[in-house]
């Protein structure tokens, strides 16, 4: 008899069952409901785009009972919403670091469809980005899986599913989810790093003799009393460097503004009146201004 | 279990018979159902359900009159539709002439989400084609949703577990998911047929 295959089949069903104990249905999300993953006794996470604009949601919990949760925070840099459950629920996902994931690993996407129970599908990891970038999956994008966990064949939680490009499933890695939840619990909201300027991308010719073009950012607005204003940045300054490094694309400045750097200073290299100079700007928190 | 990649880059699971053995068991009980329609012949699949020659298929494949049932070894039977239930998309065909070895049936109520399953049928005239996938959801009313790739011609053919035990018959595709009527519903349908006859 095909015992090995049967063992594999049973192991996969076990993994789905274990993962399903941490998956709740979010009735309002998407077209016909989405999923959320329990991350603490009273915290669940889901894909933010599916519940955009909502302050609270209704849930079906793993034991079949109904519940409600308020949307406690939406992480602006990832498609992640943190839900605070009205009532504690004892079972939650092991927020274990995924460890050595490899492209080609077999994975299961698990969800919960309304009151109708657990749903599962399978595929492989097709690409792994750096750090906290979403994992790309080769998994059929059936509806309702956003917000549910991606688990390995052993049931270990790899991350939380969301929609990637072309409506494919992508996964926010567990470490990124965990750090978002920790931040939210500590601060009660997600800080948004900012320096308070409006920018227009421009091109600079590096010299009259050269055709080489560099990208830079023209300051077109400085928020009164904002971090950049306090540091002395002026409308008309052209930002050419960030932390000593030449800008290669407009997003380089945005990338340098990380939540963990709020309160620290960033060195902004500007061209003012034809002269290069450097100005230190303290990164502020947009939400606490 | 060990896995290895051969020089051609194909993954093989060492120590596993794959779905081959399950497929062999299914092959003997999966039939082609040929119906006469106004447009010509219609083709579907069916599964040999009982030793007295009851073949289960979908009501949308055959719901009345006479049909032809062809086994994969080439044996061919004239069949009559013994009963149909359009609501559950089930029909029973009666063939006679031998004592048959029917499909091993597993109760669809024991099925778990995440189990591996295979479907056999005759999609696009391809006799005995096998596709495999995973149980996506076990629904109410004995419906089984799978991510198995089905095609027209799979209708009425068996959905089976990793050991080749029949869990139900494939019925339709909804949002890319294969929908099968579970063996629970089929057993109830067969029981209704038998009691109606007596």
Model pLDDT for residues A87-144, shown as the tens digit of each residue: 988 876 665 555 678 888 899 999 998 877 899 999 999 888 877 788 899 888 888 8
At B124, list the tokens: 């696009």
Q: Computed from CA positions of residues A247, A253, A255, A256, in that sequence, does the dihedral angle turn out positive or negative?
A: positive
Average pLDDT of every residue of chain A:
86
pLDDT at B40: 76
> Minimal Cα–Cα distance from B9 to chain A, Å?
13
DSSP E strands in chain A: the ranges are: 23-26, 34-38, 43-47, 56-60, 66-75, 80-85, 106-112, 118-127, 135-139, 149-152, 157-163, 169-173, 193-194, 197-205, 213-222, 238-242, 245-246, 265-272, 275-282, 284-285
Both tokens assigned to B171 = 């019925």
B window 139-198, beta carbon within 8 A of A: 139-140, 145, 147, 161-164, 175-177
Distance CA(A62)–CA(A50), nearest Å, equals 20
Q: Which CATH number fits domain A193-288: 3.30.2400.10, 3.40.50.300, 3.40.120.10, 2.30.42.10?
A: 2.30.42.10
Neighbouring C-beta atoms of residue A263, cutoff 10 Å: 11
- Cβ of A142 within 8 Å of Cβ of B175? The answer is yes
Cα B196 to the chain's mean position, in Å?
Answer: 24
Common-topology check for domains A3-187 and A193-288: no
pLDDT band at A206 (very low <50, low <70, confident <90, very high): low
Residue-range domain boundaries for chain A: 3-187, 193-288
Mean pLDDT value across residues A56-83: 90
**Residues B151-163 pLDDT 10s:** 888 899 999 999 9
Residues of B whose CB is below 8 A from A9: 115-116, 161-162
Contacts with A99 (C-beta within 8 Å, 6 or more apart), sequence order: none
Burial class (CB in 10 A: 0-12, 13-18, 19+), B55: buried
ipTM exceeding cut-off 0.85 for this assembly: no
Largest pairwise CA distance in chain A: 82
Architecture in CATH for domain A3-187: Beta Barrel (2.40)
Q: Which domains does chain B have, with CATH numbers?
A: 28-94 (2.40.10.10), 108-186 (2.40.10.10)
pLDDT value, residue B67: 93
What integer pLDDT is reported at residue B28 of this predicted model?
92
Query: Could you read off the pLDDT of A150-199 as tens digits, one per residue?
Result: 998 888 899 999 987 777 788 999 988 998 898 888 887 788 889 999 99
List the helix and strand counts (H, then E) for chain B: 2, 14
More confident call, B81 vs A212: B81
For chains A and B, count residue pairs whose Cβ atoms are closer than 8 Å.
Answer: 90
Partner residue facing A142 (CB), from B13, B113, B176? B176
Model pTM? 0.78
CA distances from A88 to A22, A41, A69 (A): 13, 5, 10
Q: Do the chains contact at B162 and A13, CB–CB below 8 Å? A: no
Please state the rounded mean pLDDT for residues A211-215.
72
pLDDT for A208: 55
Tokens linked to A184: 């939210």
Tokens (6 digits) for A69: 């949760």
Which residue among A5, A118, A120 places its CB closest to the CB of B19?
Answer: A5
* Residues in chain B with pLDDT values less than 70: 1-17
């Amino acid at each position: 008899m095909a015992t090995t295959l049967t063992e594999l089949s049973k192991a996969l069903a076990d993994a789905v069952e274990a993962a399903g104990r941490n998956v709740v249905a979010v009735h309002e999300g998407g077209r016909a409901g989405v999923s959320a993953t329990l991350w603490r006794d009273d915290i669940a996470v889901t894909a933010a785009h599916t519940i955009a604009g909502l302050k609270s949601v209704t849930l079906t919990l793993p034991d079949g009972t109904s519940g409600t949760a308020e949307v406690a925070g939406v992480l602006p840099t990832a498609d992640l919403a943190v839900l605070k459950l009205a009532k504690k629920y004892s079972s939650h996902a092991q927020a274990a670091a995924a460890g050595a994931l490899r492209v080609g690993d077999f994975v299961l996407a698990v969800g919960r469809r309304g009151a109708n129970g657990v749903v599962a599908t399978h595929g492989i990891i097709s690409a792994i980005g750096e750090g906290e970038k979403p994992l790309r999956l080769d998994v059929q994008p059936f509806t309702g899986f956003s917000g549910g966990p991606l688990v390995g064949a052993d049931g270990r939680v790899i991350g939380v599913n969301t929609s990637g490009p072309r409506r494919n499933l992508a996964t926010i890695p567990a470490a990124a989810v965990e750090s978002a939840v920790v931040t939210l619990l500590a601060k009660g909201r997600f800080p948004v790093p900012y320096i308070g300027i409006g920018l227009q991308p421009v091109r600079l010719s590096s010299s009259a003799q050269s055709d080489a073009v560099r990208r830079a950012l023209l300051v077109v607005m400085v928020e009164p009393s904002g971090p950049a204003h306090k540091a002395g940045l002026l409308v008309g300054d052209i930002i050419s460097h960030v932390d000593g490094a030449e800008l290669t694309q407009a997003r380089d400045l945005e990338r340098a503004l990380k939540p963990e750097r709020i309160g620290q200073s960033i060195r902004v290299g500007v061209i003012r009146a034809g002269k290069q100079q450097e100005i230190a700007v303290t990164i502020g928190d947009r939400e606490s201004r | 279990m060990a896995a290895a990649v051969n020089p051609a880059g194909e993954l093989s699971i060492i120590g596993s018979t794959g779905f081959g053995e399950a497929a062999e068991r299914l092959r003997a009980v999966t039939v082609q159902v040929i119906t006469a329609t106004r447009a010509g012949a219609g083709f579907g699949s069916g599964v040999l359900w009982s030793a007295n020659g009851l073949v289960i298929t979908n009501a949308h494949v055959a719901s009345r009159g006479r049909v032809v049932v062809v086994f994969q070894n080439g044996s061919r039977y004239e069949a009559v539709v013994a009963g149909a239930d359009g609501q559950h998309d089930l029909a029973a065909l009666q063939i006679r002439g031998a004592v048959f070895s029917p499909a091993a049936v597993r109760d669809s109520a024991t099925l778990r989400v995440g189990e591996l399953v295979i479907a056999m049928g005759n999609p696009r005239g391809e006799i005995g084609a096998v596709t495999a996938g995973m149980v996506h959801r076990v629904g109410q009313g004995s419906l089984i949703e799978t991510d198995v790739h089905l095609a027209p011609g799979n209708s009425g053919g068996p959905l089976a577990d990793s050991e080749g035990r029949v869990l139900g018959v494939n019925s339709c595709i909804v949002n890319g998911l294969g929908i099968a009527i579970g063996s629970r519903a089929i057993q109830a349908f067969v029981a209704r047929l038998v009691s109606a006859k007596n």
